[in-house]
């Protein structure tokens, strides 16, 4: 006969032991968070919205994958009882890698202008303009997620961001209408992914999934998968991995000497079209000592940008593979356009040759299909959605928004690697298929 009273006692003990810790965990620590992402076509930007300040207000922001931090314009309308500038020579100031101190601001104290405050350089990466700003903390609230639906709203009481002010022309110039700043997801310890993962002790991973549609939202996940898209497709289980590369020289519009780049670079070794190698100057594909060259990923460039000789080689090889389709006069900013009535369709967009970005070995490549390579310019004109970046760009290849849409990209900051899905259309889903109905 088993001793039931002992078992009961043991069960009570377990209930007592396990139950409080489980409830504490689920109520206090979400495993992942999310932000919706809206595409706006007028400027081709990807926007998101956070809730910030006391009382909380929605703040519209342009998503900046390589951006250093969250920055908002504090010149107008920053009202919050919990706003707190970060003083110089503090742990938070050094976490931000600031190397300047705003000793005195010649005005009455206000958000963006306080004495003895940690100084940073907010960067409008759309227009490549920057100004000075102060490191600040305030409340940010955001929805948690189980990877399938949004859950409860959680908040971070001392979220670090940069307040820009004191400029005659607003740093917001060039950003979409209603936008108040930029949400930087870049390689720093104060970017949104870094702060969220340290605030809630979850994996230092995040994922972006940009919608190609202006009518339904894409999503950014902070934390590990699942990343489930309807109908029940977990994109985190279909990823191909490649190392993320650190560029030791900043690619920001202004920076302090010695600052590394906060952009995410990957090691593209060659390009192939229809499986055929595109001849190009391979030295442009690596990053030199001055930080020039290489391939980065960007959400602020609507289309991929390539150094002139790479661009020309791509156009030449692509048009050779698609010689049977009638070309039409090209439409700026594109250099190669076709009459779309001559092109068939596939599940992954117009039937055109696949473009492969070959990575660490010949069997690891990011394949770009018609939906991501071609842009519908008018009813019957389709253009190759890559643009000429000139002969001396800082970065040789910038993979832009159009090439990222309906692809899920996961950035693992702890192991410094990128997971990419290639086109989700292959799996009969898209980035606009996250179920935004809350289950909180």
Chain contacts with ligand NAG (rule: CB under 6 A): 95, 97, 104-105, 107, 109, 113-115, 149, 189, 230, 281, 283-284, 328, 339, 341, 380-381, 435, 437, 439
Q: Is 252 exposed, middle or buried (0-12, 13-18, 19+ CB in 10 A)?
A: buried
CB of 56 to ligand NAG, least distance (A): 24
CB of 190 to ligand NAG, least distance (A): 9
Choose between 139 and 328: whose C-beta lies nearer to ligand NAG: 328
Choose between 273 and 285: whose C-beta lies nearer to ligand NAG: 285
DSSP 244-267: EE--SS--SSS--TTPPP-SEEE-
The structure tokens 């410094």 sit at 416
The H or E element containing residue 367 is strand 365-368
CA nearest to 126, candidates 57, 174, 67 = 174
CB of 288 to ligand NAG, least distance (A): 7
Choose between 23 and 339: whose C-beta lies nearer to ligand NAG: 339
Q: What is the largest CA-CA distance in the chain?
A: 89
CB of 127 to ligand NAG, least distance (A): 26
Choose between 49 and 187: whose C-beta lies nearer to ligand NAG: 187
Q: How many CB atoms lie within 10 A of CB 204?
A: 18
CB of 396 to ligand NAG, least distance (A): 8
CB of 181 to ligand NAG, least distance (A): 21
The Cα 396–Cα 207 span in angstroms is 24
Choose between 17 and 282: whose C-beta lies nearer to ligand NAG: 282
The structure tokens 């356009």 sit at 337
Choose between 177 and 378: whose C-beta lies nearer to ligand NAG: 378
In sign, the C-alpha dihedral spanning 20, 24, 26, 31 is negative
The H or E element containing residue 227 is none
CB of 239 to ligand NAG, least distance (A): 23
CA nearest to 372, candidates 390, 389, 356 = 356
CB of 93 to ligand NAG, least distance (A): 10
Buried b (16+ CB within 10 A) or exposed e, 101-138: bbeebeeeeebbbbeebbbbbbbbbbeebbbbbbbbbb
Choose between 214 and 439: whose C-beta lies nearer to ligand NAG: 439
Measured torsion, CA atoms of residues 289, 293, 294, 299, in degrees rounded to the nearest 10: 120
CA nearest to 135, candidates 167, 89, 96, 183 = 96
CB of 413 to ligand NAG, least distance (A): 8
Choose between 90 and 339: whose C-beta lies nearer to ligand NAG: 339
Choose between 284 and 313: whose C-beta lies nearer to ligand NAG: 284
């Amino acid at each position: 006969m088993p001793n039931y009273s002992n078992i009961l006692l043991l069960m009570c003990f377990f209930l007592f032991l396990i139950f409080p810790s489980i409830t504490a965990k689920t109520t206090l620590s979400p495993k992942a968070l999310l932000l919706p992402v809206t595409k706006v076509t007028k400027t081709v930007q990807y926007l998101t919205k956070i809730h910030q300040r006391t009382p909380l207000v929605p703040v519209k922001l342009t998503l900046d994958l390589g951006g250093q931090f969250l920055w908002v314009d504090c010149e107008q309308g920053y009202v919050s009882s919990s706003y707190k500038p970060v003083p110089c020579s503090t742990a938070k100031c050094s976490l931000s890698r600031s190397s300047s101190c705003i000793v005195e601001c010649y005005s009455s104290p206000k958000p963006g202008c306080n004495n003895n405050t940690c100084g940073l350089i907010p960067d409008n990466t759309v227009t490549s303009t920057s100004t000075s700003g102060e490191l600040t903390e305030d409340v940010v609230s955001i929805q948690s997620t189980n990877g399938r639906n949004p859950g409860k709203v959680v908040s971070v009481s001392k979220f670090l961001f940069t307040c820009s002010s004191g400029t005659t022309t607003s740093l917001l110039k060039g950003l979409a209408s209603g936008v108040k700043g930029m949400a930087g997801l870049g390689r720093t310890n104060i970017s949104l992914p870094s702060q969220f993962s340290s605030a809630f002790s979850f994996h230092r991973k995040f994922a972006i999934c940009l919608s190609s549609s202006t009518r339904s939202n894409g999503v950014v996940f902070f934390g590990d998968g699942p990343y489930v898209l309807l109908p029940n497709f977990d994109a985190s289980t279909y990823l191909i991995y490649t190392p993320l590369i650190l560029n030791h020289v900043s690619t920001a519009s202004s920076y302090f000497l010695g600052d590394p780049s906060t952009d995410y670079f990957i090691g593209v070794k060659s390009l192939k079209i229809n499986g055929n190698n595109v001849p190009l100057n391979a030295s442009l594909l690596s990053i030199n000592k001055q930080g020039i060259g290489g391939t980065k990923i960007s959400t602020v460039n609507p289309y991929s940008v390539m150094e002139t000789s790479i661009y020309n080689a791509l156009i030449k090889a692509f048009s050779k593979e698609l010689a049977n389709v009638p070309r039409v006069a090209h439409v700026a900013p594109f250099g190669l356009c076709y009459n779309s009535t001559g092109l068939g369709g596939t599940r992954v967009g117009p039937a055109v040759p696949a473009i492969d970005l070959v990575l660490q070995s010949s069997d690891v490549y990011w394949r770009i299909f018609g939906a991501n390579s071609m842009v519908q310019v008018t009813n019957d004109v389709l253009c190759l959605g890559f643009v000429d970046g000139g002969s001396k760009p800082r970065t040789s290849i910038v993979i832009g928004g159009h090439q990222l849409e309906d692809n899920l990209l996961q950035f693992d900051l702890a192991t410094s690697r990128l997971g990419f899905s290639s086109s989700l259309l292959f799996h009969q889903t898209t980035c606009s298929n996250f179920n935004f109905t809350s289950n909180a």
